Every structure is written in C-alpha cells, then in structure tokens.
Structure 1
Amino acid sequence: MGFRGEGALLTDGAPVDVPRDAAREAAHEELRKAVYHQNEPGPVERLVDWIEEQFGRAVDDVASPLGGGGHAALVVLLLLLLVLGVVLWRRYGAPRRAARASGLFTGAQGPRSAAQHRADAAAHAARGDWEDAVREQMRALVRGLEERTVLSPRPGRTADEAAAEAGRALPDQARELASAARLFDDIAFGERPADERAYRLLADLDQTLGRTRPVPAAVGGGTA
C-alpha cells in the first residue's frame, strides 16, 4: 500500500487526506511552551527538533494502517506528547515557578530565633536529612541578619530578596549571599538534591556574616 504525505493515493486509487502539516504545527507549538524551556534550553531544543522529525515519519508510517485521515495524525500526536511529558517530568519534575515566590519562613513552626533555627538545622544534619538542614540553616542565616538589624523583619521575604537586601549592607559578602540564595532555591524547590556540602556552605556563611559589620549608609552623598 503506497502512502506519502498529504493528498497521496492508495493503490486502489482512493485519496488519503492526512492533515500532516496542521498536526505537526500543533505538536510544534505544544513542545515549545515555556515550561519545557526552564532549564538547559540547548538539549531541550534538540529534543524538540528530534520529536518533530519522528512525528513526521510516524504520521507516514501509522496513518495508513489506521485508515488515514485526521484521526491517525491525532493518535500519533497524543502518543508523542505523552512520551515527552513523561520524559520531562522525570528530568525536571513539576514546574516550580510559582513555588519560587514562596516566603523563606512559609511553613515554619511559628516565630523562632536564629539560634533555634541553627539547632534545628544541626539536628536534621545529624540525621542526614540534608534538605531540611539546608532549609533551616538558610532561615537561621536570615533570622540572624534580622536580629542584628542588618535586615528589617518582613513577612513573606524570599531567599533571593533577603540576599539582595543584605548584600547592600554587606557588600563584601554580596556574591556569597546571592550564591547561597540560588543554592537554597535549587534545593528547596526540588531541582537539586541536598547534601552535606550545601549545608556546610550555608553554615559557614552564617558564621562569617556573624563576624562581619554592616557598611553604614551614606549620609549627604558621602561615603561613611
């Protein structure tokens, strides 16, 4: 049975109408949604291109046994999107864009001091619960800055916001603070596994910040 593309004929002369271009365009638009491009766009782009190529071939191979027509292309499209969804879910997990906006102390067990957060972090670390250890240690770091009035207490503040604000008062540690916030986000929102090294990095930075004096704000345009 011969079949090649849109408008081809079966061997008995009956026309086959498979809207391959329309189906491929639908797949193209679905595959290029922003959620699939949050991380490592290079490999994802290559995956999209490969799937588009396979889609075209699959329509040619599958449409005829299925009887041709738009139903064959739709079946192939749905199967390919299902496979892609499973691959991307296993690689990146659920989209976390909204979660990244969560406040650093959201879900914490009531107001706690920096010392209490440090103790909780150390207890989690002793059990090997590195994700919870990282979470509590980041909270201890920020709470410590609040207790020293480097930061003013503010509900809903994210790790990124805390790092940016603290970096202005502690410019020598601004880069380390930004790196710590990124590390916390990557671990807390499921994109990177926590480990002892991440916990130690935050704990060491917490100690360094405790020994660092903030830079006074400039008065009258001069440098304090």
Structure 2
Amino acid sequence: MSGAAAVAHGVVAAALVVDMPAGVPVVPDRETAHDWLLEELSRPEYSTTPSLLERLLTWLGDLFDGLTLGEGRFPLAFVVVVVVVLVAVIAWWVAGPVRLVRRRRRSAVVLGDDERTAAELRASADAAAARGDWSAAVLDRFRALVRSLEERVVLDERPGRTAQEAAHDAGTRLPTVAAELHDAARLFDDVCYGTLPAGPDDDRRLRGLDERVGALRPAPLAAAASGEVGAG
C-alpha cells in the first residue's frame, strides 16, 4: 500500500470510529467512503500549504540568510523595506517616460473644423465668462489666441494642430512668451479633457497672454532659432 493510500485508509478508518453515526453500516460503500474522505481532508488541521505572504517571507529570509553586516545580521524587516524601495524606484523609472509620452499624445486639437475668426472666438469667450462658464471661456480664449497667430501668419493654418504643437510652433517665433504659451496649452488640455476645472484667474491669465502676444513682433523665420523678437 502506498503512503497516500495508507493516509487515506487511516483517515477513513478514523472517521468510521470517531464520527460514525448510529445505525450506519461499519463498511460504507465506495461513494460514501469517498465523500467521507473529502470531508475529513477538508478540515483546517490537514492544510499544510503556506500562504503567499509566508512563502515570500521564507524566500526573502533564505535569500539574505547569509548576509551579515559587521558582527550583526540584517533584520528581515530591513531587507523587505530595501526590496520594496528598489521595486518602487524601478517602476517609477520605467513608467516615467511612458507617462510623458502619453501626456504628449493626449494634447487636444485646438480648432478642428472651427472656422470662427479670432474676434468671434474672443467674443464667445467673453460671453462664457460673463455667465460664469469658465471652462468654455478658457477654451475659446486659447482658440482665439491660436487663430490670431494664424491670421497674422505667425502660424500656418494646419488642420488637426494640437495645443502643444501650437505652443511649440508659436514659441519658436515668440520666444519671450514661449513658457507661457506652453502653460496655456497644458491648461487647455486639462480643461478640454475635464481633468482640471477652470476658474476666473485662468481666464484672466489667458486674456493677458493674448494681449501680450498681440503686441509682439514675431522673429523672422530665419532668425527664429536665435530668439530675436521685439515689440510692435
């Protein structure tokens, strides 16, 4: 008889002796014996499988069991903390570039098939601000800024241009406000995708940027790389 069979036989025998209900035959049929065996083995005292946490701690303990520092040994808690920190650093390092790429790709198209002039977009932004719809005001305010740059031929009319692309292209011609343009583009994306609620300060900031951009003379295309720009 094999070891497993012997254990099963012993369990069934124990069940027959200890838990035998009154009037039940001493020798059960095959199906009844099988059911009794499964019921008996399902009890907690027969479970010898360690939990996932126990296996992890055992693995870490075995891994660093021989690691010593001076005359003392690294405590297991210290080792666990070090491993967790290393995993977190690796995850951050791997996910960081992915987040940046995803952020660039999700920049929203500024104008799409919107054919309104800069003046019409500014009027729409003013109307939205007057009724307290700051999100609509911010979106149309940025669209007005980009449309005005197209009307002044600072930007070429390009269907499907995103907010970040518009900020990059305009910042090349208007380097003194390049950082503000990129901030405005990020605000446009956040408001457009609903991840950031707009407020009156946001609309005021874009209004001021629109006015400053309108007062700047863009650098010639040949000189844009050198950052030459002046007031006009």
TM range (shorter): 0.5 to 0.7
How far off is 1:12 after superposition? 5.8
CA distance in 2 between partners of 1:125 and 1:182 (Å): 20
On the 8 A contact 1:10/1:16 being kept in 2, the answer is no
Q: Which runs of 5+ in 1 are unaligned?
A: 1-8, 25-48, 53-95
Structure 2 counterpart of 1:20, one-letter code? L
Structure 2 counterpart of 1:163, one-letter code? A
Residue number in structure 1 paired with 2:205:
201
CA distance in 1 between partners of 2:218 and 2:143 (Å): 19
Residue number in structure 1 paired with 2:106:
100
Residue number in structure 1 paired with 2:52:
20
TM-score, normalised to structure 2, is 0.53
Residue number in structure 2 paired with 1:213:
217
From 153, 172, 186, the equivalent of 1:182 is 186
On the 8 A contact 2:107/2:163 being kept in 1, the answer is no
CA displacement 1:14-65 (0-9 Å, x = unmatched): 11547636xx9xxxxxxxxxxxxxxxxxxxxxxxx9xx9xxxxxxxxxxxxx
Which structure has the larger Rg? 2
CA distance in 2 between partners of 1:209 and 1:218 (Å): 20
| 1:152-171 alignment runs, 5 A limit | 152-171=156-175
Q: Secondary structure at the match of 2:184?
A: helix
Structure 2 counterpart of 1:102, one-letter code? A
Distance 1:18 1:213, change over 3 A: same
Q: How many residue pairs are counted as aligned between the two chains?
A: 143
* Shift >2 Å, 4+ stretches: 9-13, 16-21, 96-102, 221-224
Structure 1 counterpart of 2:52, one-letter code? R
How far off is 1:97 after superposition? 5.7
CA distance in 2 between partners of 1:105 and 1:144 (Å): 12
Distance 1:119 1:13, change over 3 A: same
CA distance in 2 between partners of 1:206 and 1:222 (Å): 23
CA distance in 1 between partners of 2:52 and 2:44 (Å): 21
Distance 1:223 1:179, change over 3 A: closer
Residue number in structure 1 paired with 2:121:
117
Q: Which runs of 5+ in 2 are unaligned?
A: 1-40, 57-80, 85-101
Report % sequence identity: 46
How far off is 1:222 after superposition? 8.9
Distance 1:99 1:152, change over 3 A: same
| 1:80-95 alignment runs, 5 A limit | none
Distance 1:192 1:12, change over 3 A: closer
Residue number in structure 1 paired with 2:153:
149
On the 8 A contact 2:171/2:181 being kept in 1, the answer is yes
